[in-house]
Copies of this chain bind each other. A is one copy, B any other.
Amino acid sequence: MKNILGREIPETIQGYGTVKPFQGAFASLGEVEKKSVKLKSTGPKEEKVLSSIQEVLEKCSLQDGMTVSFHHHLRNGDYVLNMVLDEIAKAGVRDIKVAASSIFPIHAPLVQHIQNGVVTGIYANYMSGPVAEAISRGELKNPAIMHTHGGRARAIESGDLSIDIAFIAAPTCDTYGNINGVEGKAACGTLGYAVPDAVYATKTVAITDNLVPYPACPIEITQEHIDYVVKVDSIGDPKGIVSGTTQITKDPVGLKIAKMTAKVIEVSGLLKDGFSFQTGAGGTSLAVAAYVKELMKKNNVKGSFAAGGITGYMVEMFEEGLFESLFDVQCFDLKAVESYRDNKRHQVMSASMYGNPHNKGAVVNNLDVMILGATEIDTAFNANVTTGSSGMIMGGSGGHSDTAAGSKLAIVVTQLVKGRLPIVVDRVTTVTTPGETIDVLVTERGIAVNPLRQDLIEKLKTTNLPIMTIEELKAMAEAMTGIPEKIELDDEVVAVVEYRDGTVIDVVRKIKD
């Protein structure tokens, strides 16, 4: 079977089930349903604090085949996923599905649980490091299921992803399960990705290293969703959780791309009062922000909001009055954590509020401009942020597809050639985000606009920016690198890439040894 993007996808995938093929970015909007939630009520005399994760597993009646979930706010400093899975392994339970919003190199011990059958399924929006590599080599029994940030919230809320036990790493938690992320030694700021898990899981457990007296104000995830609380020595390594600062690139190529991107934004007509903006934490993305900041100041533009994972750089723009407010699903650095703690207009958003296509309107729907990366982009503007050119999983959508679909102007910024390989190709290794939702590709050598955006092409014609077709960009790249050899992959599907609405946009196949 081929889906609407021409991707070859089996109709049924062993360990996944029947494939609903991707039908277009907005094909699934309309009548939807959020699932019912079964739970056990907590009465007046019951207590929630348990003495160990082992006791939690007993109280939650953990069984073979269950799905357990984790959030990734502690990023590469997270201790909780490994800690819980070790206890699950010790308990002799097998065939566990791990729904982690993202997986990082620190989660390497998960590979062993995969190899010995404790873990047979993985859901993630993003993964990098040893677990991603093991999955790419075909070591996981069932194909991994890769979501977008908004799509994961949708999957949880709809029941497509049914969580038996959610383990919530809690920087601060009180004895009745109220959680905040702004206090404690593992303070990470907002806990936006954990909200759907907390609300929809059958059992929800807070794991904290900062157990405080009731109530843990300011409360972010509330007691009525938490079954149990357990205290451990440490939930994470602060050095891996938040970086001290996020830095603008000093690379002249990156700066050139950023400057051109800012010009595209200016020409688009969106850079006016009420402007809204999101960008990642990478050096080039931040450089775009820096140029946008200059333009906003020059043109006296008062923006409405910046969104995303929030960096100190966006906090600075906010504090300088360039944006009225910040929407924050996760804090990328300490400055963001402090701002969120101290400023009421630095507003948390849950993963659903951020990007779920099946609620009554996500924040991404209100974005004017989104700055995106890509490891590959094809001539239909389909972007890959899931696999590297070798076919190895090394990322995933995260908010990529959500923000691309929601924003008025989604711009991919990238060097034209990386590691001697062209970034613009006929056919990306994996489609993460459909081309219909990407408006512009900016490289240091030229800018290509999606032909769907004739309005933008007309506007850009009036500038001296190097506007060309994406085919021209591809030819330019290939002239530098030669046409790369096609990589050979096994037939076996090792990961299913779900678009934000739960349809399958592509699959990842096993890399050859």
Contacts and interface: CB of A to CB of B under 8 A. Distances in A.
Interface of A: 26, 29-44, 46, 48, 176-177, 204, 213-215, 217-219, 222-227, 274, 304-305, 324-325, 327, 344-345, 347, 349-350, 352-353, 356-366, 405-406
A324 to B, nearest CB: 8
A99 to B, nearest CB: 20
22 contacts: A26-B43, A31-B41, A32-B39, A32-B41, A33-B38, A35-B36, A41-B357, A43-B365, A44-B364, A44-B405, A46-B361, A176-B365, A213-B274, A213-B324, A214-B274, A215-B325, A217-B347, A224-B353, A224-B356, A224-B361, A225-B359, A225-B360
A344 B225 CA distance: 21
B359 A215 contact: no
A36 B39 contact: no
B41 A226 contact: no
Given A223-B353, A352-B224, A304 B39 contact: no
Contact of A29 (B41, B304, B366): B41
A304 B215 contact: yes
Stoichiometry, copies per complex: 2
Contacts of A365: 42-44, 46, 176
Given A360-B225, A361-B176, A327 B34 contact: no
Contact of A36 (B36, B227, B327, B349): B36
Given A29-B41, A44-B406, A217 B359 contact: no
Q: What 3 A-B pairs come out closest when comparing CB atoms?
A: A42-B361, A224-B359, A36-B36
Given A42-B361, A215-B305, A223-B363, A34 B31 contact: no
B215 A327 contact: yes
B31 A217 contact: no
A277 to B, nearest CB: 13
A361 B360 CA distance: 28
A33 B48 CA distance: 20
B214 A305 contact: yes
A360 B30 contact: no
A482 B365 CA distance: 70
Contacts of A43: 26, 29, 357, 365
Nearest to A304: B214
Nearest to A218: B344
